[in-house]
Amino acid sequence: MNPLIGYLLVAALLFAIGLAGALTRRNAILVLIGIELMLNAANLNLIAFWRYGPHPEALTGMMFAIFSIAVAAAEAAVGLGLVIQIHRHAHTTDLDAMNRMKG
Amino acid sequence: MSIVFYIIAGLSVAGALAAVLLKNTVHCALALTVAFAGLALMFLELDAQFAGFAQILVYIGAVAILVVFAILLTRGSETPKDTVYSRNPIIGLVTAAGIFAMLGWAVLHSAQALPGSGGTPMAAPTVTVMDIGNSLMGRYVLPLEIVALLLTAALIGAVIVAMHEKESAK
Amino acid sequence: MIEKADQIFVILAHWLVSFLPAWLQHPAIVLLAVVGIIVTFPALFAITVLLERKGLGRMQNRFGPNRVGPLGIFQPVADGLKSLTKEDIVPLSADAVVHFLAPVFLVVVVFMGYAVLPIGRNMTLVNMDAGLLFFFAIGASSELSVFMAGWSSRNKYSLLGAMRAVAQMISYEVPLLMSSVAVVMITGSLSLGKIVDAQNQYTYGLPHWYIFTPWGFAGFILFAIAATAETNRSPFDLPEGESELVAGYFTEYSGFKFALFFLGEYVGMMGISGLGTTLFLGGYSAPFSFLNWVPSWIWFFSKIMLSMCVFIWVRGTLPRLRQDQLMNFAWKFVLPLSLLNLMVAGIWRFMGDGLLRWVVCSAILLLVYVLMARAGMKREHFGPRSYRYAE
């Protein structure tokens, strides 16, 4: 069996788990954790295709994954800053309680 | 598929499952760290050494600590009154299961068309850090500069968003 | 003969392994090297603990421990016995699993850093192409164990100490990396073996160590400051200061787990001083070319012990920094200087050989340092000393 298939299936599974976590948990931070899992699954996909793809010496997949890691870290920082500010305002991080735009 | 792949894959999936299923938020963050570590090991298994060490350095060394700090600053470790899941989690679970089914079907259905399925194992590409450096400064210099700008903007933005507001007269 | 003394551990390992079948030989050599590391560095830890207590005692005008054995040299044995036989108390409301895993995680992570250090000629455990990145990635993971220890104790003082420690460690991580990047830039490789090879040359008997260049000297000082802060060592030991915060993040640990934290801290200190000697002090190379007959691993260990003596000396001399002074120092002084050091290293590289580059680089570094130090001291008003007497 192609080893690439194993990595792609694991990446799909991680993506689905992250999506389930982002859609079903109440705490805003756990939604961000789900998003981080999804980004990691995509990185795994990129590196697996780089390794088993036609031109690994072009380094395209690895570069894409490295930039994705950097951008995901920046997005986590800004997202968590937003969650902290929301908590200061509404004194809760429960997403089900924040269903109005009125402050 | 070697036994090492199964062990690492099991570790990552177990960590990810624990990260979305546990009740205590800090335990979720620590399980997420285990998932990140498993993914870093998978990158190393795929001969992507630089990506694996960058994953450990950035995700475990910075993002996990950031998540933990945010949990502590928003009192997430207190037990909530209601359940930790939203009012109707079924829709989310069905969506996720549907997406996994679709992706899995796509992967398995196109197994012959994937590269490397000719039967001959591909040789590991020898990638030195010098190659990565050369390509970062050669072919990918524009994304590098844009990512630098993006990180600066994210840094300043995060500081401004999370800063204490001055008490102004309403 | 000199070659044999230099490579004695390698020869010994190969001889021991030659009794095994061929497919088992490579894992067996790796296992032997790992066992060697796990045996050597805790032994050095025991010596360092004794050295520290006696040395600190002498600096504070008192004897150190002198009851157990002549001049107190069996004190580490007594300490080890005590920590093994003490009762292991876990608070009732503490998170038992995380409380147990925190010291284990710390010790594992700290020992993994030794895998890439070149302890002698041909004596690197894993000769990785990105060895320096591996060391920093592993070192960044040790912050998580500090947080785990502080949070799982369910104790306000522990949590406060853990938050302070983690904030301090993240702040000083960037200058640590920046000062090493200057070395990487000049050498052209992230592999620690190649960095030592680049410093292993001699002109007129003097070595090409990076500390003897202007940017290397500044880089070494910045690296030393950042390393002292990374390992929570005085003068940056506010998170674990005994007079400040009970014992900081390991308040609730007793017995063997406390000993594991202690071991982890000192072994981490030795690891990072090993990295500092590899990057700036030439690793296993001798100071003068006529001293090359001394085995390389002796030079490496003596440089590490010298760094530990300097750590102990600094601990006994300087007062503790407050948390906000510590963070200000990191972000407003050490980080800009390390970025400037990077630029000066680039100027050094592109200026070509000769006396001019020494003068220009030293002048830039000294000028900026003096200006920034003067700007930082502007708020201090040093007038004549005034005395107030009780009426």
ipTM summary value: 0.91
Regarding whether B139 and B68 lie in a shared domain, the answer is no
Nearest chain C Cα distance for residue B38, angstroms: 14
Residues of chain B with Cβ-Cβ distance to C129 below 8 Å are 49, 128-129
State the Cα–Cα distance between residues B64 and B90, nearest whole angstrom: 28
Which of C 147-176 lie inside 8 A of B, CB atoms?
Answer: 147-148, 151, 159, 163, 166, 170, 173
B139: containing domain: 127-164
| Amino acid in the structure at residue B85 | Y
Q: Do B130 and C188 make contact, defined as CB atoms within 8 angstroms? A: yes
pLDDT in tens, C170-218: 999 999 999 999 999 999 889 999 999 988 888 776 788 888 889 999 9
- Region C298-302 average pLDDT: 92
pLDDT in tens, B121-163: 566 677 888 888 899 999 999 999 999 999 999 999 988 888 8
Regarding whether B69 and B4 lie in a shared domain, the answer is yes
User: Is B83 among the domain residues?
Assistant: no
State the Cα–Cα distance between residues C48 and C43, nearest whole angstrom: 9
List chains touching C (3+ CB pairs under 8 A).
B
Specify the residue for token string 């994705």.
A68
Regarding whether B135 and B72 lie in a shared domain, the answer is no
User: Is C289 among the domain residues?
Assistant: yes
Q: The tokens of C266 are what? A: 């000192």
User: Is B31 among the domain residues?
Assistant: yes
User: Is B85 among the domain residues?
Assistant: no
DSSP states of C32-76 = HHHHHHHHHHHHHHHHHHHHHHHHHHHHTTS----SSSGGGTTHH
Q: List the single residue in C129, C138, C188 with the smallest CB-CB distance to B49.
A: C129
Specify the residue for token string 């937003």.
A82
User: Is B106 among the domain residues?
Assistant: no
pLDDT at B168 over 50: no
The string over B128-141, giving b where at least 16 C-beta atoms fall within 10 Å of a residue's C-beta and e elsewhere, is ebebbeebbeeebe
Q: What does the pLDDT read at residue C67?
A: 85
State the Cα–Cα distance between residues A77 and A35, nearest whole angstrom: 13
Nearest chain B Cα distance for residue A57, angstroms: 7
Count of domains observed in chain B: 2
pLDDT in tens, C71-81: 888 888 898 89
Regarding whether B70 and B2 lie in a shared domain, the answer is yes
State the Cα–Cα distance between residues B70 and C53, nearest whole angstrom: 39
Lowest-confidence pick of A39-53, B112-126, C46-60, C255-269: B112-126
CA atoms within 13 A on the CB side of B53: 18
- Distances in Å between the Cα of C77 and the Cα atoms of C81, C199, C222, C309 are 6, 39, 36, 21
Q: What is the CATH number assigned to the segment(s) A3-96?
A: 1.10.287.3510
Q: How many CB atoms lie within 10 A of CB C113?
A: 23
Q: How many CB atoms lie within 10 A of CB C279?
A: 27
pLDDT in tens, C33-53: 999 999 999 999 999 999 999
Q: List the single residue in B53, B61, B72 with the smallest CB-CB distance to C143.
A: B61
Q: What does the pLDDT read at residue B169?
A: 43
- Region B105-124 average pLDDT: 72
C304: containing domain: 88-373
Count of domains observed in chain C: 1
**Which residue, among C128, C141, C169, C171, would best test binding to B if mutated, counting the most B CBs under 10 Å from its CB?**
C141
Q: The tokens of C362 are what? A: 């030293």
Q: Does C136 touch chain B (CB under 8 A)?
A: yes
Q: The tokens of C24 are what? A: 């088992």
Q: What does the pLDDT read at residue C378?
A: 73
pLDDT at C133 over 90: yes
User: Is C386 among the domain residues?
Assistant: no
User: Is B38 among the domain residues?
Assistant: yes
Q: Do B115 and A52 make contact, defined as CB atoms within 8 angstroms? A: yes
The string over C118-138, giving b where at least 16 C-beta atoms fall within 10 Å of a residue's C-beta and e elsewhere, is bbbbebbbeebbbbbbbbbbb
- C118 neighbors C278 (Cβ within 8 angstroms): yes
Residues of chain A with Cβ-Cβ distance to B111 below 8 Å are 2, 5
Q: What is the mean pLDDT of chain C?
A: 87
- Distances in Å between the Cα of A79 and the Cα atoms of A90, A99, B86 are 16, 18, 20
pLDDT at C272 over 70: yes
CATH of the domain at B15: 1.20.120.1200
CA atoms within 13 A on the CB side of C349: 15
**Can chain A be said to touch chain C, i.e. do they have 3 or more Cβ pairs within 8 angstroms?**
no
Q: Where are the domains of chain A?
A: 3-96
- A99 neighbors A26 (Cβ within 8 angstroms): no
Q: What does the pLDDT read at residue B170?
A: 42
Beta-bridge partner residues of C207 = C202
φ, ψ of residue C202 in degrees (nearest 5)? -130, 135
| Amino acid in the structure at residue B147 | V
- C190 neighbors C132 (Cβ within 8 angstroms): yes
The verdict on pTM exceeding 0.95 is no
pLDDT in tens, B37-53: 999 999 999 888 899 99
**Which residue, among C97, C176, C190, C195, would best test binding to B if mutated, counting the most B CBs under 10 Å from its CB?**
C190
- Distances in Å between the Cα of C18 and the Cα atoms of B122, C5, C12, C24 are 33, 20, 10, 10
If chain A, 103 residues long, is cut into consecutive pieces of 10 residues, what is the mean pLDDT of each piece? 86 95 90 95 94 83 93 93 88 79 70
- A93 neighbors A83 (Cβ within 8 angstroms): yes
User: Is C155 among the domain residues?
Assistant: yes
State the Cα–Cα distance between residues B90 and B103, nearest whole angstrom: 20
User: Is B52 among the domain residues?
Assistant: yes
Q: What does the pLDDT read at residue C270?
A: 94
Indicate the pLDDT class of residue B55, thresholds 50, 70 and 90: very high
For chains B and C, count residue pairs whose Cβ atoms are closer than 8 Å. Answer: 61
